Structure 1
Amino acid sequence: MIKSLLVYMVSFAALFFAVLHTQHWFIESYSSNIRFNYYDTNLFFAVASALICIHLKLFSILKALQPQLGYIYLPTLFIKGALFFFGFRDTVFSLGNLNISERLCLLISLLVFLVLEVIFVIKILKENNPEI
């Protein structure tokens, strides 16, 4: 159990630094102008995804919740979206129209962390329900 939680934290931390430095390199290479702090948005996506995986793993310990793990995971996507909106309402959403590099910066961060999150969620669900 502790090993799994450490794997989640290390994986999301490593992915965070990889995405952050890759984005920084692209932004510097193409002299793009990002009007928001992409460090903060990447940190949000990494921490939110890691917390979702950690909580799902902790919920999988309880026998009563094991059949409902998939249903527990579904609302987390909407909750994460709402928290992102409220957390970055003044910095990202107040900018009006985002340019292409800003849109890609947000979209790539979201998708990369979501892919790792889904991989871990599928692994947790398969551990608790082998017929998946």
Structure 2
Amino acid sequence: MIKKFLIFVVAFAVLFAVVYGFQEVFINQSSQEIRFSVFDTNVFFGVTSLIICIHFEIFSSIKKLQSQLGFIYLPTLFIKGILFFIIFKSSIFNSETLTITERLHLLIPLLLFLALEVFFITRILKEKQAN
């Protein structure tokens, strides 16, 4: 189980470094200003997805919860959305409108971290189905 946790941490850290690196290069090369912290939003997406994967792996080892894993995962998306709103309310949601560039700097990392999260969750589910 420790090996899986390390794989999760390394995968999310590498994805964070790649996404944040590309964003910083793009921001430095373009003349557009981003009115929120790209680093903070990426950390949020990465850490919440990592926590969900780790907890899901732990829950999958509990025999009573194995049949309920899909139902356990569903509310995590809503909880993540609510936490994002609460944490970034003043910096993102108080802006009148977000530019296309700002929207993309939120949407692309969200989708990439979500894709990695879903990849790990489906692997865990397949492993538990095989057993």
TM-score in terms of structure 1 length: 0.97
Q: How well do the aligned residues superpose, as a CA RMSD in angstroms?
A: 1.0
Superposed displacement of residue 119, structure 1: 0.2
Unaligned runs of 5+ in 1: none
Superposed displacement of residue 30, structure 1: 1.9
Unaligned runs of 5+ in 2: none
Cα distance in 1, alignment partners of residues 13 and 51 from structure 2: 12
Cα distance in 2, alignment partners of residues 79 and 61 from structure 1: 23
Cα distance in 2, alignment partners of residues 32 and 4 from structure 1: 40
Superposed displacement of residue 31, structure 1: 1.9
Superposed displacement of residue 84, structure 1: 0.2
Cα distance in 2, alignment partners of residues 53 and 39 from structure 1: 21
Superposed displacement of residue 130, structure 1: 2.9
Superposed displacement of residue 27, structure 1: 1.3
**1:9-49: per-residue Cα shift (whole Å, max 9, x none)?**
11101111110010111111222210000100000000000
Instruction: Report the equivalent of 1:106.
Output: 106
**1:48-86: per-residue Cα shift (whole Å, max 9, x none)?**
000000000000110000111111000000000000000
Instruction: Report the equivalent of 1:47.
Output: 47
Instruction: Report the equivalent of 1:122.
Output: 122
Instruction: Report the equivalent of 1:96.
Output: 96
- Which amino acid counterpart does residue 33 of structure 2 have in structure 1? N
Q: Secondary structure at the match of 1:129?
A: helix
- Which amino acid counterpart does residue 46 of structure 2 have in structure 1? A
Cα distance in 1, alignment partners of residues 19 and 96 from structure 2: 25
Instruction: Report the equivalent of 1:76.
Output: 76
**Percent sequence identity over aligned pairs:** 54
Cα distance in 2, alignment partners of residues 65 and 10 from structure 1: 27
**Per residue, is there more helix in 1 or in 2?**
2
Instruction: Report the equivalent of 1:86.
Output: 86
- Which amino acid counterpart does residue 45 of structure 1 have in structure 2? F
**Number of matched residues?**
131
Cα distance in 2, alignment partners of residues 5 and 70 from structure 1: 20
1:3 paired to 2:3: yes
Instruction: Report the equivalent of 2:28.
Output: 28
Instruction: Report the equivalent of 1:18.
Output: 18
